[in-house]
C-alpha cells in the first residue's frame, strides 16, 4: 500500500526527493570524496537509492551496499534486482528494525560509510525522539562516516493535506488497515465502514496527523484483549504523525543530535530537502 501511495500524483515527497537525487547525485558523491560502503535505513524497494548507487559506481568503480529493512520479502526482491543490474555491486542485506541496523553497524569494520535515511522517515518520530534516534545513530558511526537524510519541509497546508488524503482513497485504505490488522490478529470486531479517514494539519506541532473518525456512536469488542472500546460520534483514533521541518528546525535537529551540516539540496519548489551531515566528533 505504501508503494502505491508513493506513486500517487498528490504525494509529492517521493518524486521531489527523486528529482533532487537525479540532479545532484554526482555532486553529493563528490562531497563525500572517498570510497564508501553505502548503508540505507528503511531501504524498501531501493528505487531512489539506485541514483546514489550509480553515482558511486561511476566515481569509484565498485561498491558494497548494506540495505536495512523490516520487510524480508521486499529486501530480498530489491537486493536480487540490484545485483542483477549492477555487476560491480555487492549487497549485504540486513532484515530487521532500525535498532538491528544500528547494532549491525556498530560491529562492522571496513571503509567509511555513507548512511542513507531517505523518504523523510525522520518525520515519523516525535521531534524529541528524532533527536534521540539520531544520537543513537551517531553513536554507531565511525570516523569518516556521513549521513544523508531526506527531510520534508513545512509548506502550505493544502499541499500537505492533499498528499495525505488522496482522491483515489489509497491513503484512507492504508490508514484503515490498522483496524483490519486488529481484527485479524487480536480478534477485533471493527467495521471499517464505520470509520472515515481524515488528515489534519497541526500548525503548532508542525505535523500532519492521520485520524480514523467514528461516523457514529459505537462499541467495538476486541476478543483477545477482553476489551470493549466505545466511541462517540465524531471521536477519532489518532493513528500517525508526519512531522515537517523548517530550515531552522533542520539546523536545530542536526545540532541537537551532534551533527554538522556539510551540504543541502532542494527541489525547484523548495518542498523537500536532502541533507548531508557528519558527526561533530568521532564516535
Domain boundary assignment for the chain? 2-154+244-279, 157-243
β partners of residue 222: 188, 227
- What dihedral do alpha carbons 164, 165, 169, 174 form, nearest 10°? 40
Q: For residues 75 and 65, what is the distance between their CA atoms, to the nearest angstrom?
A: 12
Q: Within 10 A of 236 (CB to CB), how many other CB atoms are there? A: 17
Give the mean pLDDT of 265-274: 96
Q: Which residue has the cell 535505513?
A: 41
pLDDT at 135 over 50: yes
pLDDT of 186 > 90? The answer is yes
The yes-or-no verdict on residue 46 having pLDDT over 90 is no
Average pLDDT over residues 229-233: 98
Rounded average pLDDT over 208-234: 98
- What is the CATH topology of the domain spanning 2-154+244-279? Rossmann fold (3.40.50)
Does residue 281 register a pLDDT over 70? no
Mean predicted confidence (pLDDT) in 26-48: 91
On the question of pLDDT at 283 being above 60, the answer is no
Do 176 and 197 form a contact (C-beta atoms < 8 A)?
A: yes
Is 252 exposed, middle or buried (CB count within 10 Å of its CB: 0-12, 13-18, 19+)? middle
- In which residue are the cell numbers 489509497 written? 170
Amino acid at each position: 500500500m505504501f508503494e502505491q501511495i508513493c506513486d500517487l500524483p498528490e504525494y509529492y515527497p517521493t518524486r521531489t526527493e527523486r528529482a533532487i537525487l537525479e540532479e545532484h547525485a554526482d555532486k553529493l558523491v563528490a562531497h563525500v570524496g572517498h570510497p564508501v560502503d553505502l548503508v540505507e535505513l528503511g531501504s524498501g524497494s531501493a528505487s531512489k537509492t539506485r541514483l546514489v548507487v550509480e553515482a558511486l559506481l561511476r566515481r569509484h568503480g565498485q561498491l558494497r551496499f548494506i540495505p536495512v529493512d523490516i520487510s524480508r520479502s521486499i529486501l530480498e526482491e530489491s537486493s536480487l534486482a540490484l545485483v542483477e543490474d549492477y555487476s560491480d555491486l555487492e549487497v549485504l542485506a540486513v532484515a530487521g528494525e532500525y535498532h538491528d541496523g544500528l547494532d549491525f553497524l556498530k560491529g562492522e569494520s571496513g571503509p567509511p560509510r555513507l548512511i542513507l535515511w531517505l523518504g523523510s522517515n525522520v518525520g515519523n518520530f516525535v521531534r524529541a525522539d528524532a533527536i534521540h534516534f539520531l544520537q543513537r545513530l551517531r553513536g554507531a558511526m565511525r570516523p569518516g562516516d556521513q549521513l544523508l537524510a531526506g527531510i520534508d519541509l513545512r509548506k502550505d497546508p493544502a499541499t500537505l493535506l492533499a498528499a495525505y488524503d488522496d482522491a483515489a482513497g489509497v491513503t484512507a485504505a492504508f490508514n484503515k488497515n490498522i483496524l483490519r490488522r486488529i481484527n485479524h490478529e487480536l480478534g477485533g470486531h471493527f467495521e471499517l465502514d464505520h470509520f472515515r479517514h481524515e488528515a489534519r494539519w497541526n500548525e503548532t506541532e508542525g505535523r500532519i496527523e492521520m485520524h480514523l473518525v467514528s461516523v457514529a456512536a459505537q462499541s467495538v469488542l476486541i476478543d483477545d484483549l477482553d476489551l470493549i472500546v466505545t466511541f462517540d460520534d465524531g471521536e477519532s483514533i489518532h493513528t500517525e504523525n508526519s512531522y515537517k521541518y523548517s530550515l531552522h528546525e533542520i539546523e536545530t535537529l542536526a545540532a541537537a543530535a551532534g551533527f554538522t551540516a556539510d551540504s543541502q539540496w532542494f527541489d525547484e519548489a523548495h518542498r523537500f530537502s536532502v541533507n548531508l551531515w557528519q558527526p561533530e566528533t568521532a564516535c
